[in-house]
Amino acid sequence: MRKRQILKLIHLLSTGWFALCASYVLILALRQAGIGWWVIFSLSGHSAVLVLLLVSLYLFAIFRGAARSQIIQQEHPLTSTDYYMVFYGISPFLGGLAGIAGVIGMKDITQCLLGVAYGSMGTTFLVWIIIDPAIGVIENFLPVSRQHRKKRLERVRVLREKQQREKQLLLEKLEADEKILRSEHQKILEPFSQKLLELVSGNATNLEKREYEVVDIGVKAWQIGGLNSMQQLHEMTMGRYKQKHKETQMVDYIMMWWDGIGDWRAQPLSEKGELRSG
């Protein structure tokens, strides 16, 4: 754990150093173009440096940081070693040292700093963008890496199939339990369905009393199994009503009177004139 924290710190410092070098090169280029300091501070201080930092972090994450969490030592015998990861992390600083060696003897401090910045940026680009991906590609073609990757992918495939089978078995079990529960509820709801059929099949008189009884049955159905029981009872009753009266269009009083019980919500009249559950 301590080793990983050190590597993360090295990566963070190297990324910050790269951003600093890029900012220096940009500011120097603006000054040489005759741009005033107040413009430079307003642009580079708030925009350019931030953009460069984000770009460097993006490149770092894409080309190395994100891949490190998924790297497999058997498939990457070189780039997964601690020595290589340290080299990868300190490459911007190594480039800076190379830049220092290249400007030895110069008296112009500006050009010296520019040489250090160019050395850091060039080395970082070379290692992070070119050398590291190239080594990774070469490692992928090693016989040992290919065999291990093949076995790993096979394990992933087997695990995925196992998970799919488990999901399918769970789904089938839930469906079976739902059928059993629905069958049990049907036995309980049978007398309520008969009563509802009598209430909705009656004449137009005593609507207030019939509505009260229908609502009371709806509350009981809700207490038995919630919305599912209410829908099941509604389907049972309406199916029997159609068989008895042979009507294609009718006013669904149950739907209207149950509105507001639990999660039951009445829907507007459909094109066929029936009221359906939501």
Residue 149 belongs to a domain = no
Q: Taking the complete model, does pTM exceed 0.85, yes or no?
A: no
What pLDDT does 69 receive? 45
Cα-only R_g, the chain = 37
CA distance 275 to 253: 8
Residue 265 belongs to a domain = no
> How many Å separate Cα 31 from the centre of its chain?
45
What pLDDT does 152 receive? 82
Say how many domains are in the chain. 2
- 116 and 242 housed in the same domain: no
- 100 and 200 housed in the same domain: no
Residue 276 belongs to a domain = no
Nearest CA-CA partner of 19 in 43, 53, 68: 53
- 135 and 188 housed in the same domain: no
- 58 and 131 housed in the same domain: yes
Average pLDDT, the chain: 78
Residue 249 belongs to a domain = yes
Residue 154 belongs to a domain = no
CA distance 101 to 95: 10
Token pair of 18 as six digits: 């790269």
Amino acid at 193: S
What pLDDT does 128 receive? 85
Residue 228 belongs to a domain = yes
Domain boundary among 125, 141, 157: 141
DSSP state of 278: -
- 19-23, 65-69, 88-92, 215-219: range with lowest mean pLDDT: 65-69
* pLDDT per residue as tens digits for the range 170-192: 999 999 988 898 888 888 989 99
Residue 165 belongs to a domain = no
Q: Residue 202 belongs to what domain range?
A: 181-257
Question: Is the model's pLDDT at 256 over the cut of 90?
Answer: no
What pLDDT does 178 receive? 87
CA distance 259 to 73: 63
CA distance 17 to 9: 12
Question: Is the model's pLDDT at 233 over the cut of 50?
Answer: yes
Residue 63 belongs to a domain = yes
- 35 and 124 housed in the same domain: yes
